[in-house]
Structure 1
Amino acid sequence: MSIQTSRRALLAAAALAAPAIWGRDAVAQIRRGDELTVGIWGGAQERITRQFCATPLERQHGVKINYVLGGTPERRARAYAERGRPSFDLLYLNIFESRQAVKDGVTMASSANVPNFANLYDIAKIGGYAVAFNPVTIVYDRRKVAAPMTSWRDFWRDDLKGKVIWPTYPGAQGTSALLMAAKVWGGSESNIDPAFTNIARLRPFAAIQGSQDQLYGMFDQDVGAASVEFGSFTRKYAETRNPNIVIADPTEGQAIATNVACITTGTRNQALAEAFVNLHLSPECQAAYAEEIYYSPTIKNVSFAPELAAKLILGEAAVNKLVDFNWDLVIANQPRWSSRFTREIAG
């Protein structure tokens, strides 16, 4: 489907796509008056899912969709505290939190109960239903580097000395930066020493950044030349505020990051939650995300105009190039690595 299709047509198609009964027992069916509680980020995430998921379901089934907006840590903590008796029916987590939540029995694994499950890339079926690829990569100011950055090793080039804005750890950006540093310097999740040794060689940093907004402010103020950040958000920043910023495609690959829809274990509204996820995985909703904030689709059955397609992760080859990690090891080591980062890198 092309993104040129009108928004009105997309919404109508989404409404028609809302599933009714998929052959499951009556207890699991959607009933008029049901209420679904969804924990999600605000902004575009809320706005797009309201248009393509919540509104069609409310109109077709006479249900109510309640949103709880906020950050991932708060959602995750609440879901764990309420394990087995959830107030969330559906919550959105990041890649490693979602996989751990399934193992801990807080949320359910993905399944074919959601029809669009069949269209997901295999890696998007782990830990729930990945609804967007939002990989972490190198971002830099083209005016402040001697040559394009094409490798994670480029952070250690002489022309970047004192110009690197390193991301704090833990956090998605800092985790990706740490793990990719390990990878390119001969280490891994099970051998993190090369990462710490070589990141320490980058000091003095231009700054340590703890958020996208903080990094973009630093770029605006010419604080440094390069950092590690979500490519999609940075592309939007570059196109609206700072055309000198480049989103790199390193030869070693971009670090995988996904937003994952997770249905809670014990929800009384499983069928409604599955219907919501199914609409989030529709070509219409996925196209809206790509068009507005450059999130790459996790389904295979959607197409884009060439200009937009060039800015997304599309197709098996591109998805397979994303660098995944052993998240069990990462999670197990996070407290120790966090202390070490404070002591050896940020201190």
Structure 2
Amino acid sequence: MTTSLTRRGLLATAALAAPAIWGRDAVAQIRRGDELTVGIWGGVQERITRQYCATPLEQQHGVKINYILGGTPERRARAYAERGRPSFDLLYLNIFESRQAVKDGVTLAPSANVPNFEHLYPLARIGGYGVAFNPVTIVYDRRLVAAPMTSWKDFWRDDLKGKVIWPTYPGAQGTAGLLMAARVWGGSENDIDPAFRKIAELKPFAAIQGSQDQLYGMFDQQVGAASVEFGSFTRTYAETRNPNIVIAEPTEGQAVAANYACITAGTKNQALAEAFVNLHLSPDCQKAYAEQTYYSPTIRNITLPPELAAKLIMGEEAVSKLIDFDWDVVIRNQGRWSSRFTREIAG
């Protein structure tokens, strides 16, 4: 049997059923039986979003949340191939991919339709809804360096000769290393020559690393002293496996990296996607990320225990120190820089 409700009655019913952090307009459009397809990484990110986003929506509204798990390149390629007729309603991309996807008409720009949008830092409002800051920085073994590393220029110190494990390019770590080398040695993404010249001076490297697992195995075996890596993952590694590893806070800043929730252009479930994102941006969900992954919150309206907050990027001042780049330039040059890296650095 079908029950007919007036718009006012439907809104009143939704207001009673839904947590206050969901927008009234979005909730009013969610229909029982709707299905949302989410493309995201597996592991802890799937588990957290199931607990704090998917399960509440399914229980409150009788909807179904479907997950497609995997790496960013695969879901990005699929979203582009399906532009305008998406099978994804919501997909997670990195910082530069999310900005490009909006420009290419694959995903929608973020908006205040998601109530928690108002609590996002400005950096988390570009290209999609930033759900986690995960900056890339210097990481090193305190036993193998003469003094703490406090600058990106420290890779070129005499005591690091032959001890640097450089990250491969392309990739978030290699991109951060390349762009920060350019910046501290007088160049930029528009003038990359100083970076290639200076990185080549670091040869011979202790090794070239292509993943966190590979780097951590090298650290375990003391293959080298220092590298460029995500601070969050490395903090977990240091606390669980290798307490000699330090996550540096360079005076020039850490290179920004972030995950963004992106609603696809043409989705038939926009209201449900917005409700999902809104829950992801809730203090409870952001706190779970911080506790379980050391991902830093993208919202201002959150309070964390001091001992946890000290390990994260917290507050306006800290977020403002994250180094952003002209990602249009980076993307446009990626193929050329990749060939040059293979020839001049990895070769």
TM-fit CA distance, 1:313: 0.4
Aligned mates of 1:338, 1:43 — CA distance in 2: 30
**Secondary structure, in 3 states, of the residue corresponding to 1:246?**
strand
Name the CA shift for 1:20/1:179 in 2 (closer, same or farther; >3 Å). closer
* CA RMSD between the two structures: 1.3
1:305 correspondence with 2:305: yes
Aligned to 1:109: 109
Aligned mates of 1:86, 1:215 — CA distance in 2: 37
1:16 correspondence with 2:16: no
Code of the residue aligned with 1:208 in structure 2: it is: I
TM-score (norm 2): 0.94
Alignment of 1:148-167 (within 5 A): 148-167=148-167
**Secondary structure, in 3 states, of the residue corresponding to 1:255?**
coil
Aligned mates of 2:255, 2:22 — CA distance in 1: 34
Code of the residue aligned with 1:21 in structure 2: it is: R
TM-fit CA distance, 1:31: 0.6
Alpha-carbon displacement from aligned partner over 1:311-336 (angstroms, at most 9, x marks no partner): 01011100000000000000000000
Aligned to 1:331: 331
Name the CA shift for 1:15/1:244 in 2 (closer, same or farther; >3 Å). farther
Aligned to 1:7: none
Code of the residue aligned with 1:328 in structure 2: it is: D
TM-fit CA distance, 1:21: 3.4
Quote the sequence identity (%): 83
- Show structure 2 runs of 5+ residues with no match: 1-16
Aligned to 1:268: 268
Aligned mates of 2:229, 2:333 — CA distance in 1: 22
Code of the residue aligned with 1:40 in structure 2: it is: I
1:139 correspondence with 2:124: no
Aligned to 1:64: 64
Aligned to 1:345: 345
1:51 correspondence with 2:51: yes
**Secondary structure, in 3 states, of the residue corresponding to 2:57?**
helix
TM-fit CA distance, 1:170: 0.3
TM-fit CA distance, 1:203: 0.3
Aligned to 1:5: none
Aligned mates of 1:15, 1:345 — CA distance in 2: 55
Alpha-carbon displacement from aligned partner over 1:92-144 (angstroms, at most 9, x marks no partner): 00000000000000000000000000000011000000000000000000000
Aligned mates of 1:21, 1:269 — CA distance in 2: 15
Conservation of the 8 A alpha-carbon contact between 2:26 and 2:113: no
**Secondary structure, in 3 states, of the residue corresponding to 2:140?**
strand
Aligned mates of 1:123, 1:20 — CA distance in 2: 22
**Secondary structure, in 3 states, of the residue corresponding to 1:107?**
coil
**Secondary structure, in 3 states, of the residue corresponding to 1:65?**
strand
**Secondary structure, in 3 states, of the residue corresponding to 2:24?**
coil
Aligned to 2:129: 129
Alignment of 1:81-230 (within 5 A): 81-230=81-230
Aligned mates of 2:126, 2:31 — CA distance in 1: 29
- Show structure 1 runs of 5+ residues with no match: 1-13
**Secondary structure, in 3 states, of the residue corresponding to 1:22?**
helix
Name the CA shift for 1:117/1:295 in 2 (closer, same or farther; >3 Å). same
Structure showing greater radius of gyration is 2
TM-fit CA distance, 1:15: 6.7
Aligned mates of 1:94, 1:23 — CA distance in 2: 25
Alpha-carbon displacement from aligned partner over 1:150-176 (angstroms, at most 9, x marks no partner): 000000000000000000000000000
Alignment of 1:253-264 (within 5 A): 253-264=253-264
Conservation of the 8 A alpha-carbon contact between 2:133 and 2:296: yes
Aligned mates of 1:346, 1:30 — CA distance in 2: 52
Aligned mates of 2:263, 2:33 — CA distance in 1: 20
Aligned mates of 2:20, 2:253 — CA distance in 1: 35
Aligned mates of 1:17, 1:258 — CA distance in 2: 27
Conservation of the 8 A alpha-carbon contact between 1:17 and 1:279: no
Aligned mates of 1:210, 1:75 — CA distance in 2: 21
TM-fit CA distance, 1:22: 1.6
Aligned mates of 2:301, 2:22 — CA distance in 1: 18
Alpha-carbon displacement from aligned partner over 1:260-311 (angstroms, at most 9, x marks no partner): 0000000000000000000000000000000111000000000111100100
Aligned to 2:7: none
TM-fit CA distance, 1:19: 2.4
TM-score (norm 1): 0.94
